[in-house]
Amino acid sequence: MTKNVENRARVQAGVKTGGQFAAEMHSEPAGISLMTEPSPLDKTAVGIVGALVRARSNMEMGAWQRRQDKGRYGYEHEPRDPVPEVLVELDRRAKYFETLPREEQEAVLEQLKMQQHQYLLKPGQQLGNEKVRLADNLDTSGNVGLALVAQKVVANAGIPGPVTMTEIGDRTAFTVQDGAIQHTIHIGANSLALSATPADGEDYQRGDWFSRAYISSSGGYVFETTRPEDLRRAYESFREYAVMMDVVADSSFRDAESSVGALDRSARTAELRAEGAEYVLDVSADEPALTTDGGTPLHPAMVRGFLDHVAAQTGHADGDALISNLREVFRETDRRLVQ
């Protein structure tokens, strides 16, 4: 068994916009003006917001039309109500969003309660931020728009340690160095995946244990306000398991991958496989307990013999040694996670 875890204000006429507005608001004595340098990515970023606004505008228009259709049942012969002016104006602004002054763009986001996307309207967009650095020779020919959003998700998720953007494409990849473990985060428009690899790329057996920590999920949307929190929780669970697999790979269980299934650090349990069947060993108490995968407890008289049998096939002297070493795996994982 593997670990799968699975924006109402209107802008008044005459308000200065863009660089002119920023320069005048930040003007310095002696005629020196501080302006944010435009970036080649600004157009891409604003285009992302424009697409989101048009999609939301279409949703609002569709919702109004459905309410109209429902209210017209039995009155289809009567003329339709005119489209509300607020929707007509929203449709116009959405259609030409990229050409609007920035203040009017922000007003549209406020009207739609989409203020969380305002950061994409700021001039000077760039890859990398206060949390994310860029890998050397990063190929930026892929989906840069997604990368701009994904790096914001990573920054807001509060992933511990330095994060490096390593790939831009249909999914944006980030790596996090965690001691001898390299974690990789893949963020797509509707997907999230987390994996771990050993620092020693030749340690294939450790890599096999790390594969158990892999998490992949689909659904949701990278633009959702909850995405950073989703990533934070997923990464926390994923890292815990990856660290435990690293401990296992250094333990007496290193060569017992076929006999040891899923481990649960909080419950202090491990799945053991023998003779084509799976059992759950619980070492949380002084005396170990063993149940079938269906939850039926084994009689205490059977536990000792079973554990001795599994110990023999996993390279342990006896059942006591197996239990002791399993408890040490959990304790060492605890120590690693609090460092």
pLDDT per residue of the chain (339 residues) written in tens, 0 to 9 = 443 433 323 232 333 333 333 333 334 444 343 456 789 999 999 999 999 999 999 999 999 888 887 766 656 666 778 899 999 999 999 999 999 999 999 999 999 999 999 999 999 999 999 999 999 999 999 999 999 999 999 999 999 989 999 999 999 999 999 989 999 999 999 999 999 999 777 888 999 999 999 999 998 899 999 999 999 999 999 999 999 999 999 999 999 999 999 999 999 999 999 888 899 999 999 999 999 988 999 988 889 999 999 999 999 999 999 999 999 999 999 999 997
> What Rg, from alpha-carbon coordinates, does the chain have?
28
Neighbours of 163 (CB within 10 A): 22
**Any long-range contacts for 134-143 (C-beta under 8 Å, 24+ apart)?**
134/164, 134/165, 135/164, 135/165, 135/166, 135/175, 138/165, 138/166, 138/167, 138/168, 139/167, 139/168, 140/168, 141/168, 142/167, 142/168, 142/169, 142/170, 143/168, 143/169, 143/170, 143/172
Q: CA 134 to CA 166: how far, in whole Å?
A: 7
At residue 227, what is the residue type? R
Classified as helix, coil or strand, 192 is: strand
What are the backbone angles phi and psi of residue 26, rounded to the nearest 5°?
-110, 25
